[in-house]
Amino acid sequence: MIINELYFLLHSLIIGTAALISLRLGQQALIAFVVLCSILANLFVLKQIILFGFDATCSDAYTVGAVFGLNLLQEYFGRPITQTTIWISSFLLIFYTIVCQLHLLYIPSVYDTMQEHYLPILQFMPRIAIASFIVSFLVQQCDSFLYGILKNYFNGRFLTIRNYISIGVCQLFDTILFSFLGLYGLVHNIWHIIFVSYCVKLMAMLLTTPFVMMSKKISR
C-alpha cells in the first residue's frame, strides 16, 4: 500500500504551491503562511501514521513549509522582516496554546458531543507548544543566521543549494530536539519518529526544488 506516500506527495506539493502564492501576494501573506504552518504543525503532530514502513507523524511537511517560507522572506524581503516573523510566530503559538486550554475549561452543555473529541487532542498542547516554542525559536534563528551566511558566501547565487543546506542542517536539529522534548512518551517508537521525520523532511525539501526555482519568476 502506498496510499500514505501518495498523500504525502500531494501534501508537500500543496504546501509548496501555497508558499509561492503567498510570495506572489506579498510580504504580509508570506508571514501569515509561516505562522499558519507553525501552528498547524503543532496541531497535527500527535497523529501517527505508517510512512515507508516506519512510524511517522503528519506534521513534518508543515515544518518544512515554515522554514521554506522563512527562506523566501529572507531572500526577497531581508533578514529584519524574517526576525520579526520569528517573533510573531512565537507569540501566536503561545496565544494558540492559551486559548486551547481555555476552550477545554468551558463546561459543556448536556447536548454537547464534541468535548470528548477536543480533550485528547488539546490536552497535550501545553507540553507540545512549549517544546515547539523553544525548538522553533532556536531552529528559526539558526536558519536565519545560516541562510544569511550562505547568501553572502555565494553572493546571492545558487538559491536551491542554499535552501537545501539551511533546511537540511536546521531540520536535523529540529527533529532530534522536538522529538525528545515534545513527543517522548507519547509516541510508539521515538527513534522511528526521529529517523522517518528527518527523512520525510529531506524528501519534502527535495519536492520544494521546482518551487524554489519558480520563486524568482514570481517575485519579479
What is the per-residue pLDDT across 87-134, written as a single tens digit (0 to 9) for each? 898 889 889 888 888 988 899 999 998 888 888 878 777 777 777 778
The pLDDT value recorded for residue 212 is 67
Cβ atoms of residues 211 and 20 within 8 Å: yes
Model pTM score: 0.76
Q: Residue 59 and residue 139: Cα distance in Å, rounded?
A: 16
- The mean per-residue pLDDT over the stretch 172-190 comes to 76
In which domain, by residue range, is 127 found? Answer: 3-105+112-219
Q: How buried is residue 20: exposed, middle or buried, by Cβ count under 10 Å (0-12/13-18/19+)?
A: buried
Give the count of domains, the chain: 1
**What percent of the chain lies above the pLDDT cut of 90?**
12
* Type and span of the H or E element at 48: strand 48-51
CA atoms of 17 and 210, how far apart (whole Å): 10
